[in-house]
């Protein structure tokens, strides 16, 4: 395959570079560990990467709307949903309590997303400012609600995140199915096409009679729901909620979306790329831990990995 044919093939598939980076990081880790635990390393990456991907899918929908749309409240949604969901689950108890905790967490996420949409569309607050402010409010609610303490996850919630199918975590399989559904929805439904059309040219989408505001609002609501689900599942996995449980997911959710090939300017989204970006970030952190790199250098190396992937991918995006 010559250079021109390669550029033509890779143009509409910018997500390939995230998987190339993923493979290189994994091979480096295998070389450092002399192959010890290489399969377990991938399993761990899938387990933790699922939380990145779940938040990233919602962030992807918002960013795809273009016009500077971004959700900086995801960490606040994760934290509040984790505390309230675990508390409700503990108070009711049993499988009914677990289900109630999940429902309450998802409602919190939906309301957070709806509040973001109202601030942006009704009050005309810039998305970055609106969602950042909403994140602060949600974090404040978490502090007031929790008083710094978190109930332990119920046995039912722990069982949910611990269940595996053929060695793969059930929540990872469910997130893969969700990714496929979102990909098909973006391609084949009016709402999904409206999201992408809005990102490509919002004015043209309005003139075409598309319901742009509804599409943008739905994207924010879905982002809130996915973030809340990730917060509750992560808290159940690690044994409880903390006030900084969603801290890393604010920038990482954006990073895995961009690494995966979704256009920051909007109009182009790829769910498989979110998986590539999420797993790449998890494996990069794991590699640095294995190499016993200090915390200060981890951010530097992780940043260099992100820059490297984007630098390689950029010419291909331009070609597309």
State pLDDT tens for residues 137-195. 999 999 999 887 788 999 999 999 999 988 889 999 999 999 999 999 999 999 999 99
Structural domain includes residue 1: no
Structural domain includes residue 7: no
Q: Are 75 and 252 in contact (CB under 8 A)?
A: no
Mean pLDDT per block of 10 residues along the chain (320 residues) reads 58 77 83 71 84 96 94 96 95 93 97 97 95 96 87 92 88 96 95 96 94 97 98 95 91 88 89 92 80 71 72 48
**What is the residue whose two structure tokens read 């509409």?**
12
Structural domain includes residue 5: no
Say how many domains are in the chain. 1
Q: What's the domain range around 170?
A: 15-28+36-315
**Torsion sign over Cα 111, 114, 120, 122:** negative
At 178 the pLDDT is 97
Cross-strand pairs, 169: 164
At 318 the pLDDT is 36
Q: Model pTM?
A: 0.91
Structural domain includes residue 145: yes
CATH number at residue 302: 1.10.3470
Structural domain includes residue 10: no
At 263 the pLDDT is 86
Structural domain includes residue 310: yes
Cα–Cα distance measured from residue 167 to residue 177, given in angstroms and rounded to the nearest whole number: 17
At 319 the pLDDT is 32
Q: Are 86 and 98 in contact (CB under 8 A)?
A: no
Tokens representing 291?
A: 């190499």
Structural domain includes residue 237: yes
Structural domain includes residue 44: yes
At 133 the pLDDT is 96
């Amino acid at each position: 395959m010559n250079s021109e044919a390669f550029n033509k093939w890779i143009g509409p598939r910018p997500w390939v570079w995230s998987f190339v980076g993923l493979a290189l990081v994994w091979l480096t880790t295998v070389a450092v560990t002399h192959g010890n635990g290489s399969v377990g390393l991938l399993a761990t990456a899938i387990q933790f990467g699922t939380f990145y991907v779940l938040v990233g899918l919602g962030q992807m929908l918002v960013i795809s709307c273009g016009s500077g749309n971004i959700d900086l409240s995801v960490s606040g949604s994760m934290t509040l949903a984790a505390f309230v969901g675990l508390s409700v689950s503990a108070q009711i108890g049993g499988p009914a309590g677990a289900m109630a905790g999940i429902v309450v967490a998802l409602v919190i996420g939906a309301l957070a997303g709806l509040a973001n949409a109202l601030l942006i569309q009704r009050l005309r607050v810039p998305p970055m400012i609106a969602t950042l402010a909403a994140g602060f409010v949600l974090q404040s609610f978490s502090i007031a609600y929790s008083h710094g303490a978190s109930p332990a996850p119920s046995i039912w919630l722990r069982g949910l995140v611990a269940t595996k199918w053929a060695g793969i975590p059930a929540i990872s399989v469910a997130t893969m199915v969700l990714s496929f559904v979102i990909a098909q929805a973006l391609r084949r439904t009016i709402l999904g096409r409206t999201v992408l059309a809005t990102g490509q040219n919002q004015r043209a989408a309005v003139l075409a009679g598309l319901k742009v505001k509804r599409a943008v609002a739905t994207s924010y609501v879905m982002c809130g729901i996915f973030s809340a689900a990730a917060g509750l599942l992560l808290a159940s996995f690690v044994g409880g909620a903390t006030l900084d449980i969603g801290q890393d997911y604010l920038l990482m959710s954006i990073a895995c979306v961009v690494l995966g090939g979704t256009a920051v300017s909007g109009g182009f989204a790829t769910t498989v790329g979110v998986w590539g970006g999420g797993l790449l970030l998890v494996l990069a952190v794991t590699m640095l831990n294995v190499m016993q790199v200090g915390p200060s250098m981890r951010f530097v190396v992780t940043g260099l990995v992100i820059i490297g992937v984007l630098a390689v991918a950029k010419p291909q995006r331009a070609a597309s």
